[in-house]
Amino acid sequence: MERKKLLESEMIIRIITNHSTYDTFELPSIFD
């Protein structure tokens, strides 16, 4: 369970890093 949570947060961090050019408020649109 803990490993899965770590993987999920790692992916989220990667998504945020890859889209660092976007505003923080635009990030949720990635998950649409």
Sort 19 into a burial class: Cβ within 10 Å, 0-12 / 13-18 / 19+.
Answer: middle
At residue 15, the pLDDT reads 79
Sign of CA dihedral 11, 13, 19, 23: positive
At residue 22, the pLDDT reads 56
Q: Distance (Å, rounded) from C-alpha 1 to C-alpha 27?
A: 26
At residue 2, the pLDDT reads 82
pLDDT (tens digit per residue) in 1-32 = 688 888 888 888 887 777 655 555 555 655 55
Q: What is the pTM of this model?
A: 0.42
In this structure, what token pair is assigned to residue 17? 């890093």
Contact 30, 19 (CB under 8 A): yes
